[in-house]
């Protein structure tokens, strides 16, 4: 997708017909509570209408507070906002899914969710300890539940009208394919790490063929330096088109048919990351030809989040 279309307005239809997801998403993985509130407020003011949350981020209450304040100030209403949150690894047992969902909804102060994701395909020992470990510091996994068991409980949330769509995060095709085939309600969104150093082309093709939205996290490379933002191809294109490297990377993500999550923490960065515009075709193709390959977040292999402080 290249040309003059206003990327900021891109909304991606969900494969169950239950609405559309704004391609430009604000991720709320922010450890500090006060900063969560100001960053969420700034993101809404900049124009973001898609909020990505998680019970594991331990700040749903603050996100909800900023969202309620935004709606009270006017110009933002619930139907105009797309809110996602995620089921944590310790709640994969089917009987734990609905209570975890309702607790998240309650912290967010909402009546329904647009999207509920299984945060990772790894089940941890059930309980209130989000990071269960043995004496040697090894994660305690739960072999008593399958991903499909958890998915069935997620499906019933949609069937009962509690959330509009369900999906998965941190999955590979090996996990997604069998689940997709067995699912009564197909996954609407798959959230994974994706950027020019990890384009996930095969997964993206699989998703496109089935109308699944691929939602990219780490589109700017998680802020790791040197990294994507300093890549010479990206910097040269930024200089040529009069945009910042971040804007180039975010535009590329939308133009290739994915949605993205970014976490600007200041008002200026929120405006910068929202104000993207389409890249010319030659620039888009140049980014597609980047050869560097690098996965930044190991969560997909272990279920252990790479960039969230350990739960205390
Ligand atoms: N499903 C999962 O397992 C998973 C894992 C990770 C993240 N996520 C989601 O993805 C969201 C996005 O997080 P991310 O780390 O992946 O985002 P990212 O955009 O790849 O990286 C954020 C980093 O980029 C920097 N940054 C942001 N805007 C910038 C700009 N305009 N110019 C230069 N640097 C900029 C930030 O710097 P500062 O710190 O200085 O602001 C921060 O260090 C999270 O909030 C969360 O919702 C999901």
Per residue of the chain (312 residues), give pLDDT as tens. Answer: 544 579 999 999 999 998 999 999 999 999 999 999 999 999 999 999 999 999 999 999 999 999 999 999 988 999 999 999 999 999 999 999 999 999 999 999 999 999 999 999 999 999 999 999 999 999 999 999 999 999 999 999 999 999 999 999 999 999 999 999 999 999 999 999 999 999 999 999 999 999 999 999 999 999 888 899 999 999 999 999 999 999 999 999 999 999 999 999 999 999 999 999 999 999 999 999 999 999 999 999 999 987 766 655
The contacts of residue 84 (CB under 8 Å, 6+ apart) are 25, 50, 51, 52, 53, 113, 114, 115, 116, 117, 189
Work out which ligand 1 atom sits closest to the CA atom of 117: 1
What pLDDT sits at residue 312? 53
Distance 261 CA to ligand 1 centre (A): 7
Q: Is 258 in the pocket of ligand 1 (CB under 6 A)?
A: no
Q: What is the DSSP letter of 124?
A: B
Q: Whose CA is nearest to atom 42 of ligand 1?
A: 223
Q: Is 199 in the pocket of ligand 1 (CB under 6 A)?
A: no
d(CA 26, CA 49): 8
Q: Is 217 in the pocket of ligand 1 (CB under 6 A)?
A: yes
Q: Is 219 in the pocket of ligand 1 (CB under 6 A)?
A: yes
Q: Whose CA is nearest to atom 34 of ligand 1?
A: 223
What pLDDT sits at residue 2? 47
CA distances from 180 to 31, 89, 113, 143, 280 (A): 33, 20, 21, 21, 35
- CB count in 10 Å sphere of residue 224: 14
Distance 52 CA to ligand 1 centre (A): 12
Distance 144 CA to ligand 1 centre (A): 34
- CB count in 10 Å sphere of residue 293: 9
57 assigned to active site: yes
What pLDDT sits at residue 101? 98
CA distances from 14 to 131, 140, 162, 172, 279 (A): 32, 35, 16, 20, 25
Q: Which residue has the tokens 């490297």?
A: 245
Q: Whose CA is nearest to atom 30 of ligand 1?
A: 246
Q: Whose CA is nearest to atom 4 of ligand 1?
A: 217
CB 201 within 8 A of CB 232: no
Q: Whose CA is nearest to atom 19 of ligand 1?
A: 262
Pocket test for ligand 1, best of 196, 263, 268 (most atoms within 8 A of CB): 263
Pocket test for ligand 1, best of 192, 194, 223 (most atoms within 8 A of CB): 223
Q: Is 84 in the pocket of ligand 1 (CB under 6 A)?
A: no
């Amino acid at each position: 997708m290249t040309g003059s279309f206003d990327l900021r307005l891109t909304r991606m239809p969900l494969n169950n017909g239950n609405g559309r997801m704004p391609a430009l998403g604000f991720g709320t993985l922010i450890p500090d509570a006060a900063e969560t509130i100001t960053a969420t407020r700034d993101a809404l003011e900049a124009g973001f209408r898609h909020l990505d949350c998680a019970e594991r981020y331990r700040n749903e209450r603050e996100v909800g507070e900023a969202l309620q304040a935004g709606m009270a100030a006017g110009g933002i209403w619930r139907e105009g906002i797309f809110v996602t949150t995620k089921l944590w690894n310790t709640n994969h047992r089917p009987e734990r899914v609905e209570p975890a969902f309702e607790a998240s909804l309650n912290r967010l102060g909402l009546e329904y969710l647009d999207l509920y994701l299984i945060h990772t395909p790894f089940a941890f020992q059930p309980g209130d300890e989000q990071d269960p470990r043995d004496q040697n510091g090894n994660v305690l996994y739960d072999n008593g539940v399958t991903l499909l068991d958890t998915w069935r409980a997620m499906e019933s949330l949609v069937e009962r009208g509690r959330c509009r769509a369900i999906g998965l995060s941190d999955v590979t095709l090996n996990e997604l394919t069998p689940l997709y085939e067995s699912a009564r309600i197909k996954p609407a969104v798959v959230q994974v790490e994706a950027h020019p150093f990890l384009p996930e082309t095969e997964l993206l093709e699989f998703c496109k063929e089935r109308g699944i939205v691929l939602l990219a996290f780490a589109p700017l490379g998680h802020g790791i330096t040197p990294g994507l933002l300093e890549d010479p191809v990206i910097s040269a294109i930024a200089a040529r088109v009069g945009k910042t490297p971040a804007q180039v990377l975010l535009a590329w993500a939308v133009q290739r048919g994915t949605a993205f999550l970014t976490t600007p923490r200041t008002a200026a960065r929120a405006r910068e990351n929202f104000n993207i515009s389409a890249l010319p075709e030659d620039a888009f193709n140049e980014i597609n030809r980047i050869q560097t390959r690098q996965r930044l977040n190991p969560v997909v292999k272990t279920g252990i989040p790479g960039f969230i402080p350990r739960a205390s």
